[in-house]
Structure 1
Amino acid sequence: MAEKLGISRQTYIDIENGVRIPKADTIYKISVITNQSINYFFYDNTEIGDIDQISILLEQLPESKKKVVFRGFKKNH
Protein backbone atom coordinates (compact mmCIF):
# COMPACT_ATOMS: atom_id res chain seq x y z
CA MET A 1 0.00 0.00 0.00
CA ALA A 2 2.80 2.41 0.90
CA GLU A 3 4.35 1.87 -2.52
CA LYS A 4 1.03 2.56 -4.27
CA LEU A 5 0.67 5.76 -2.24
CA GLY A 6 4.21 6.89 -2.94
CA ILE A 7 5.10 7.09 0.76
CA SER A 8 7.49 5.17 2.97
CA ARG A 9 6.38 2.00 4.71
CA GLN A 10 7.03 3.65 8.08
CA THR A 11 4.86 6.65 7.16
CA TYR A 12 2.04 4.29 6.21
CA ILE A 13 2.42 2.36 9.47
CA ASP A 14 2.33 5.65 11.38
CA ILE A 15 -0.87 6.65 9.56
CA GLU A 16 -2.50 3.30 10.34
CA ASN A 17 -1.52 3.58 14.01
CA GLY A 18 -2.78 7.15 14.32
CA VAL A 19 0.71 8.53 14.95
CA ARG A 20 0.69 10.64 11.80
CA ILE A 21 -2.12 12.46 10.02
CA PRO A 22 -1.99 11.84 6.27
CA LYS A 23 -1.88 14.69 3.79
CA ALA A 24 -5.02 15.40 1.75
CA ASP A 25 -3.55 13.87 -1.40
CA THR A 26 -2.67 10.69 0.49
CA ILE A 27 -6.21 10.42 1.84
CA TYR A 28 -7.54 10.88 -1.68
CA LYS A 29 -5.23 8.14 -3.03
CA ILE A 30 -6.28 5.77 -0.23
CA SER A 31 -9.94 6.42 -1.05
CA VAL A 32 -9.34 5.63 -4.72
CA ILE A 33 -7.30 2.48 -3.99
CA THR A 34 -9.80 1.17 -1.43
CA ASN A 35 -12.87 2.35 -3.37
CA GLN A 36 -14.11 4.17 -0.26
CA SER A 37 -15.54 7.66 -0.06
CA ILE A 38 -13.17 10.19 1.48
CA ASN A 39 -15.67 10.77 4.29
CA TYR A 40 -15.28 7.12 5.32
CA PHE A 41 -11.92 8.07 6.81
CA PHE A 42 -13.32 10.97 8.83
CA TYR A 43 -16.80 10.05 10.01
CA ASP A 44 -18.74 7.02 11.20
CA ASN A 45 -21.98 8.55 9.94
CA THR A 46 -22.38 8.28 6.16
CA GLU A 47 -25.08 10.96 6.06
CA ILE A 48 -22.89 13.94 6.72
CA GLY A 49 -23.79 16.31 3.91
CA ASP A 50 -21.06 18.80 3.04
CA ILE A 51 -18.11 16.43 3.20
CA ASP A 52 -19.98 14.00 0.94
CA GLN A 53 -20.57 16.73 -1.59
CA ILE A 54 -16.94 17.85 -1.47
CA SER A 55 -15.80 14.25 -1.85
CA ILE A 56 -18.01 13.70 -4.89
CA LEU A 57 -16.79 16.93 -6.49
CA LEU A 58 -13.14 16.04 -5.87
CA GLU A 59 -13.59 12.58 -7.34
CA GLN A 60 -15.01 14.09 -10.54
CA LEU A 61 -12.14 16.52 -11.11
CA PRO A 62 -9.55 15.73 -13.76
CA GLU A 63 -6.14 14.82 -12.30
CA SER A 64 -4.60 18.17 -13.25
CA LYS A 65 -7.30 20.06 -11.31
CA LYS A 66 -6.99 17.74 -8.29
CA LYS A 67 -3.32 18.71 -8.01
CA VAL A 68 -4.28 22.39 -7.87
CA VAL A 69 -6.90 21.73 -5.18
CA PHE A 70 -4.52 19.66 -3.06
CA ARG A 71 -1.83 22.34 -3.32
CA GLY A 72 -4.44 24.75 -1.94
CA PHE A 73 -5.16 22.35 0.92
CA LYS A 74 -1.46 22.14 1.73
CA LYS A 75 -1.07 25.94 1.74
CA ASN A 76 -3.95 26.34 4.16
CA HIS A 77 -2.88 23.51 6.46
Structure 2
Amino acid sequence: MNTPNAFHLLLKQVREEHGMTQVDAAKNLKIARQTYLDLEYGKTLPRLDILIAISALFNKSVAYFTGERPSLDSFDTMELLEELQHRHVKKAPNIADAMPHL
Protein backbone atom coordinates (compact mmCIF):
# COMPACT_ATOMS: atom_id res chain seq x y z
CA MET A 1 0.00 0.00 0.00
CA ASN A 2 1.37 3.42 -0.84
CA THR A 3 0.76 5.37 2.36
CA PRO A 4 -1.90 5.47 5.01
CA ASN A 5 -2.78 8.96 3.76
CA ALA A 6 -3.54 7.80 0.23
CA PHE A 7 -5.75 4.99 1.50
CA HIS A 8 -7.70 7.10 3.97
CA LEU A 9 -8.38 9.82 1.40
CA LEU A 10 -9.69 7.27 -1.10
CA LEU A 11 -11.82 5.64 1.59
CA LYS A 12 -13.43 8.92 2.56
CA GLN A 13 -13.98 9.88 -1.08
CA VAL A 14 -15.77 6.66 -2.06
CA ARG A 15 -17.85 6.66 1.13
CA GLU A 16 -19.07 10.17 0.36
CA GLU A 17 -19.70 9.24 -3.30
CA HIS A 18 -21.96 6.45 -2.04
CA GLY A 19 -23.83 8.85 0.25
CA MET A 20 -22.88 6.94 3.39
CA THR A 21 -22.06 8.23 6.81
CA GLN A 22 -19.09 6.85 8.69
CA VAL A 23 -21.53 4.96 10.91
CA ASP A 24 -23.25 3.47 7.84
CA ALA A 25 -19.93 2.30 6.45
CA ALA A 26 -18.88 0.75 9.78
CA LYS A 27 -22.21 -1.10 10.07
CA ASN A 28 -21.99 -2.40 6.49
CA LEU A 29 -18.43 -3.59 7.11
CA LYS A 30 -19.44 -5.11 10.46
CA ILE A 31 -16.66 -3.30 12.29
CA ALA A 32 -16.70 -0.94 15.25
CA ARG A 33 -17.32 2.72 14.47
CA GLN A 34 -13.98 3.64 16.06
CA THR A 35 -12.18 1.09 13.88
CA TYR A 36 -13.72 2.69 10.80
CA LEU A 37 -12.81 6.17 12.03
CA ASP A 38 -9.21 5.06 12.55
CA LEU A 39 -9.12 3.83 8.95
CA GLU A 40 -10.65 6.96 7.48
CA TYR A 41 -8.50 9.32 9.55
CA GLY A 42 -5.33 7.48 8.49
CA LYS A 43 -4.46 6.20 11.96
CA THR A 44 -4.40 2.56 10.84
CA LEU A 45 -4.46 0.48 7.69
CA PRO A 46 -7.04 -2.26 7.20
CA ARG A 47 -6.43 -5.96 7.61
CA LEU A 48 -6.75 -7.88 4.36
CA ASP A 49 -10.25 -9.16 5.17
CA ILE A 50 -11.45 -5.62 5.91
CA LEU A 51 -9.80 -4.29 2.73
CA ILE A 52 -11.62 -6.94 0.70
CA ALA A 53 -14.91 -6.04 2.41
CA ILE A 54 -14.31 -2.32 1.70
CA SER A 55 -13.62 -3.11 -1.95
CA ALA A 56 -16.84 -5.12 -2.23
CA LEU A 57 -18.93 -2.53 -0.37
CA PHE A 58 -17.85 0.34 -2.61
CA ASN A 59 -17.52 -1.73 -5.81
CA LYS A 60 -13.85 -0.86 -6.25
CA SER A 61 -10.90 -3.17 -6.75
CA VAL A 62 -8.41 -3.80 -3.97
CA ALA A 63 -5.83 -2.36 -6.36
CA TYR A 64 -7.78 0.92 -6.41
CA PHE A 65 -7.31 1.31 -2.67
CA THR A 66 -3.69 0.16 -2.66
CA GLY A 67 -2.67 2.45 -5.50
CA GLU A 68 -1.29 -0.42 -7.55
CA ARG A 69 -2.88 0.76 -10.81
CA PRO A 70 -4.91 3.73 -11.93
CA SER A 71 -8.67 3.64 -11.77
CA LEU A 72 -10.77 4.17 -14.88
CA ASP A 73 -13.21 6.24 -12.81
CA SER A 74 -11.81 9.52 -14.12
CA PHE A 75 -12.31 8.55 -17.77
CA ASP A 76 -15.39 9.56 -19.72
CA THR A 77 -17.05 6.25 -20.60
CA MET A 78 -18.83 7.61 -23.68
CA GLU A 79 -15.61 9.12 -24.97
CA LEU A 80 -13.85 5.76 -24.60
CA LEU A 81 -16.74 3.96 -26.33
CA GLU A 82 -16.68 6.40 -29.25
CA GLU A 83 -12.93 5.94 -29.63
CA LEU A 84 -13.31 2.14 -29.66
CA GLN A 85 -16.13 2.32 -32.20
CA HIS A 86 -14.08 4.64 -34.38
CA ARG A 87 -11.13 2.22 -34.29
CA HIS A 88 -13.38 -0.75 -35.03
CA VAL A 89 -15.10 0.90 -38.01
CA LYS A 90 -11.72 1.93 -39.38
CA LYS A 91 -10.41 -1.67 -39.32
CA ALA A 92 -13.58 -3.59 -40.22
CA PRO A 93 -14.02 -4.25 -43.93
CA ASN A 94 -17.29 -3.44 -45.58
CA ILE A 95 -19.07 -6.79 -46.00
CA ALA A 96 -20.87 -5.62 -49.13
CA ASP A 97 -17.54 -4.94 -50.84
CA ALA A 98 -16.29 -8.45 -50.03
CA MET A 99 -19.35 -10.21 -51.49
CA PRO A 100 -19.14 -11.39 -55.13
CA HIS A 101 -21.65 -9.63 -57.31
CA LEU A 102 -24.21 -12.02 -58.72
The aligned counterpart of 1:15 is 39
Runs of 4+ off more than 4 Å: none
Q: Aligned partners of 2:50 and 2:69: how far apart in 1?
A: 22
The aligned counterpart of 1:31 is 55
Q: Aligned partners of 1:43 and 1:21: how far apart in 2?
A: 13
Q: Aligned partners of 2:26 and 2:32: how far apart in 1?
A: 6
Superposed CA RMSD: 1.7
AA partner of residue 43 (structure 1): G
Structure showing greater radius of gyration is: 2
Per the alignment, in what secondary structure is the counterpart of residue 36 of structure 1? coil
Give the TM-score of the pair, scaled to structure 1: 0.55
The aligned counterpart of 2:70 is 46
Q: Aligned partners of 1:44 and 1:13: how far apart in 2?
A: 24
Q: Report the count of equivalent residues.
A: 47
Q: Identity over the aligned pairs, expressed in percent?
A: 38
AA partner of residue 8 (structure 1): A
Structure 1 gaps, min length 5 = 48-77
Q: In the alignment, is residue 6 of structure 1 matched against residue 30 of structure 2? A: yes
Give the structure, 1 or 2, with the largest relative contact order (CA under 8 Å, sep 6 or more).
2
Give the TM-score of the pair, scaled to structure 2: 0.43
Q: How far has the Cα of 1:29 moved from its partner?
A: 0.5
Q: How far has the Cα of 1:38 moved from its partner?
A: 0.5
Q: How far has the Cα of 1:45 moved from its partner?
A: 3.2
